[in-house]
Chain A
Amino acid sequence: SQQGEEDPQALSIQEGENATMNCSYKTSINNLQWYRQNSGRGLVHLILIRSNEREKHSGRLRVTLDTSKKSSSLLITASRAADTASYFCATDVGIGNQFYFGTGTSLTVIP
């Protein structure tokens, strides 16, 4: 399987702190995306980074991609209680628009 794996599986931080979660994958990719899932809801797209990009920002989110290490990281700065959710990376397989999702990092931000 080309499924990505997030690390850590669970993360608990205080409001205002930064949260970093990592994603590792097994084969070459075209793109990598990060999604957020609030409890009991569907996934929501956060950011897409292409294989020829190394870093991308969107608001308080910063994503890096290291294709040589087959890894990506998602940094959420100045976290808020509303950031409490599970975060998934999704790597494409180069076939159509199929993506393989990782197992997710559960983030808890304590007010």
Chain B
Amino acid sequence: NAGVTQTPKFQVLKTGQSMTLQCAQDMNHNSMYWYRQDPGMGLRLIYYSASEGTTDKGEVPNGYNVSRLNKREFSLRLESAAPSQTSVYFCASSEDVGGLRSYEQYFGPGTRLTVT
């Protein structure tokens, strides 16, 4: 099993350019997440998808859009990149949620994005 994979690993964009970050998982998880990690800020949730066909905003959704293409894939799109979006982006997945039960999240290796 590859677990959670992300592409690309590195990306440099100019202000105003657009791009899509790809994420895929092969663990048959229903839930998928996109986080950004900035120095001294920890991880902040951008968007999440509790199941195929559903997406919800997290803590910092502005400037981003997501697509849950199918159960395996969850993409993050920056329509018009800004320097403030320079960050490391992590995709994660987890098993179903039920009541108060929670499950560990499995993380991809990250995408390092620089916007100049």
Residue numbers of A with Cβ under 8 A of B are 1, 3, 30-31, 33, 40-45, 48, 88, 90, 92, 94, 96-104
When distances are taken between beta carbons in the complex, the residues of chain B under 8 Å from A99 are 45, 102, 105
Decide: B45 and A45 in contact? CB cutoff 8 A: no
Instruction: From the candidates B40, B41, B104, name the one contacting A33 in the complex (CB within 8 A).
Output: B104
Residue numbers of B with Cβ under 8 A of A are 4, 31, 35, 40-45, 48, 50, 56, 58-59, 90, 92, 94, 97, 100, 102-110
Decide: B45 and A103 in contact? CB cutoff 8 A: no
Decide: B42 and A31 in contact? CB cutoff 8 A: no
Decide: A97 and B90 in contact? CB cutoff 8 A: no
When distances are taken between beta carbons in the complex, the residues of chain B under 8 Å from A94 are 100
Instruction: From the candidates A1, A42, A90, A92, name the one contacting B110 in the complex (CB within 8 A).
Output: A42
**Which residue of chain A has the shortest Cβ distance to B56 in the bound complex?**
A96
Counting from the closest, the 6 A-B pairs by CB-CB distance are A42-B107, A45-B104, A101-B43, A103-B42, A101-B42, A97-B97
